[in-house]
């Protein structure tokens, strides 16, 4: 019979296993989810508000758009490093302390970006800024794994992903409006103020959620008042040697690529095709996709919990982790491929208000469909690597970010060479290929998990 136990929890008595998720009341859990979701909004705003302000930054620093856009690539690298760093140290020191340590980096980095007078200083402080807030997603997913048991976790992670991705919807519009009507420097001062308020909120009202006895510092019999150790942040990536975790990470990246293929070149596709030049309006065109993300994440999470309960009852209590992945079919097979293909064809062949309206509908459907795939995958990864939930989400986010950064660099050249329709069709095929990987993981999940032991949830 399958069970969900970490090696540490497995040594406890039955009562502890039953009550470990009841340490917090439902109202406390909702508040915790709210706080970590607010923290995960920050990385979205830090990354997505920068792009619309590139022309204004280039003008102020007497540089070019291409050179200033290095800040985007640098922030991807900083986010990948940061999410691994904060997740690895959260295993030893706990989630709460890592949130409190990261926020000062964000505040100082944001002020540094706002006061930059040269490209060199801009890029340095941009790295510090992004590094500081990059733990939002991995730490938040770890917190959800700490407080929700198996049958509730999909809903919790779905709400968390949906709330955090709401930033992906509003950040481009906010960044574009700020660049158009205010100042990019004031934008980053605002991000610093937000980080300070978030740090105060966490300090006052956020409890430590790690399971008692599981933090590394609790196991030290002799420790100093300020106990600092070295934790290898790259150790989280070693979890991806598990075939299951590697497969779901790759599949998620291929499906999520469709979002980036639609959004990254929007100025050159929808903007040019429908004559939109105002930066604020271009930013507003991101909203339908983000609203789709916001709606899709909790619905998909709830659906995946229903699927887990259904199949567990059908097997008379036996749990197969891959059951959760069956909730991805509607998004991966239908919504994502059809929406991105339709968007490419509409952009290429349908002009005027009708073409723009249908394109915005496709953006909404694509945002909905992508979260119907990635939300259950995120919950699945926490399920099967529960004792290292923050680390696996960090490895998942970091490796996926690097895949996407390399792939999206090819989007605009592909559009220029073969056209927007064929570029979007290729992205749809890659999304279907990702769904094929998920199908193989569902079918052969038990064998894949048995082939490499990375401390996955035990099966008896």
pLDDT at 65: 61
Asked if residues 327 and 296 have their Cβ atoms less than 8 Å apart, the reply is no
CATH homologous superfamily for the domain 9-451: MFS general substrate transporter like domains (1.20.1250.20)
**Interval 336-390: pLDDT, tens:** 999 999 999 999 898 888 989 999 999 999 989 998 998 888 888 877 776 666 6
Greatest CA separation for the chain: 71
Token code pair at residue 66: 């291409």
CA dihedral 364, 370, 376, 382 (to 10 degrees): -120
Could you tell me which residues come within 8 angstroms of residue 119 by beta carbon, excluding any fewer than 6 positions away? 61, 63, 67, 68
Token code pair at residue 360: 């915005």
Q: What's the CA angle centered on 355, arms 354 and 358, to 5 degrees?
A: 85
Could you tell me which residues come within 8 angstroms of residue 112 by beta carbon, excluding any fewer than 6 positions away? 121, 124, 125, 128, 129
Asked if residues 319 and 312 have their Cβ atoms less than 8 Å apart, the reply is yes
Q: Where are the domains of the chain?
A: 9-451
Asked if residues 414 and 338 have their Cβ atoms less than 8 Å apart, the reply is no
Please indicate, yes or no, whether the overall pTM of this predicted structure exceeds 0.95. Answer: no
Cα–Cα dist 187/48, whole Å: 12
SS (H, E, C) the chain: CECCCCCCHHHCCHHHHHHHHHCCCHHHHHHHHHHHHHHHHHHHHHHHCCHHHHHHHHHHCCCCHHHHCHHHHHHHHHHHHHHHHHHHHHHHHCHHHHHHHHHHHHHHHHHHHHCCCCHHHHHHHHHHHHHHHCCHHHHHHHHHHHHCCHHHHHHHHHHHHHHHHHHHHHHHHHHHHHHHHCCHHHHHHHHHHHHHHHHHHHHHHCCCCCCCCCCHHHHCCCCCCCCCCCCCHHHHHHHHHCHHHHHHHHHHHHHHHHHHHHHCCCHHHHHHHCCCCCHHHHHHCCHHHHHHHHHHHHHHHHHHHHHHHHHHHHCCCCCCHHHHHHHHHHHHHHHHHHHHHHHHHHHHHCCHHHHHHHHHHHHHHHHHHHHHHHHHHHHHHHHHCHHHHHHHHHHHHHHHHHHHHHHHCCHHHHHHHHCHHHHHHHHHHHHHHHHHHHHHHHHHHHHHHHHCCCCCCCEC
Closest of 140, 377, 366 to residue 253, by C-alpha: 377
Closest of 441, 434, 316, 284 to residue 372, by C-alpha: 434
Cα–Cα dist 72/177, whole Å: 19
Query: What are the per-10-residue average pLDDT scores of the chain (460 residues)?
Result: 42 53 82 86 79 74 68 76 82 84 91 87 88 83 79 74 72 73 83 91 86 64 61 74 87 87 80 79 80 82 84 81 88 92 92 90 92 86 72 77 72 84 92 93 84 60
Token code pair at residue 415: 């559009």
pLDDT at 10: 42
**Interval 190-221: pLDDT, tens:** 889 999 998 999 999 888 887 766 665 656 66
Asked if residues 449 and 242 have their Cβ atoms less than 8 Å apart, the reply is yes
**Interval 413-422: pLDDT, tens:** 888 888 889 9
pLDDT at 389: 66
The CA-atom distances, in angstroms, between 280 and each of 153, 171, 338, 394 are 37, 11, 28, 32
pLDDT at 71: 67
């Amino acid at each position: 019979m399958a069970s969900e136990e970490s090696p540490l929890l497995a040594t406890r008595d039955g009562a502890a296993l039953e009550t470990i998720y009841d340490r917090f009341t439902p109202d406390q859990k909702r508040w915790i989810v709210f706080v970590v979701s607010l923290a995960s909004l920050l990385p979205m705003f830090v990354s997505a508000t920068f792009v619309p302000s590139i022309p204004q930054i280039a003008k102020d620093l007497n540089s070019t758009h291409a050179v200033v856009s290095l800040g985007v690539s640098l922030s991807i690298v900083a986010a990948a490093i940061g999410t691994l760093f904060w997740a690895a140290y959260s295993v030893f020191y706990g989630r709460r302390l890592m949130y409190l340590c990261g926020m000062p980096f964000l505040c100082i980095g944001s002020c540094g970006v706002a006061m930059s007078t040269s490209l060199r200083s801009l890029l340095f402080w941009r790295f510090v800024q992004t590094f500081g807030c990059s733990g939002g997603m991995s730490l938040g997913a770890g917190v959800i794994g700490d407080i929700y048991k198996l049958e509730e976790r999909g809903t919790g992670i779905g709400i968390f992903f949906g709330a955090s991705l709401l930033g992906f919807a509003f950040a481009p519009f906010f960044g574009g409006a700020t660049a158009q009507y205010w100042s990019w420097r004031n934008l980053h001062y605002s991000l610093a103020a937000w980080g300070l308020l978030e740090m105060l909120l966490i300090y006052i009202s956020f409890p430590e959620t790690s399971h008692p006895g599981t933090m590394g510092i609790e196991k030290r019999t002799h420790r100093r008042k300020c106990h600092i150790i070295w934790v290898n942040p790259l150790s989280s990536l070693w979890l991806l040697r598990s075939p299951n975790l590697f497969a779901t990470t790759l599949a998620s990246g291929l499906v999520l690529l469709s979002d980036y293929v639609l959004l990254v070149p929007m100025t050159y596709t929808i903007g040019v095709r429908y004559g939109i030049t105002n930066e604020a309006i271009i930013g507003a065109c991101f909203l339908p996709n983000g609203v789709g993300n916001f709606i899709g994440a909790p619905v998909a999470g709830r659906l995946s919990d229903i699927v887990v309960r259904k199949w567990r009852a059908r097997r008379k209590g036996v749990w197969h982790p891959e059951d959760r992945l069956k909730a991805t079919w509607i998004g991966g097979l239908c919504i994502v491929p059809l929406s991105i293909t339709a968007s490419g064809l509409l952009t290429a062949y349908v002009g005027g208000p009708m073409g723009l309206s249908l394109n915005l509908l496709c953006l909404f459907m694509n945002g909905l469909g992508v979260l119907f795939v990635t939300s259950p995958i995120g919950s699945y990864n926490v399920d099967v690597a529960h004792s290292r939930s923050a680390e696996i989400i960090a490895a998942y986010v970091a490796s996926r970010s690097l895949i996407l950064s390399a792939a999206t660099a090819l989007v605009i050249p592909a559009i220029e060479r073969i056209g927007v329709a064929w570029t979007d069709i290729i992205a749809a095929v890659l999304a279907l290929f990702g769904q094929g990987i998920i199908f193989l993981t569902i079918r052969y999940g038990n064998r894949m998990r048995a082939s490499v032991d990375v401390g996955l949830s035990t099966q008896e």
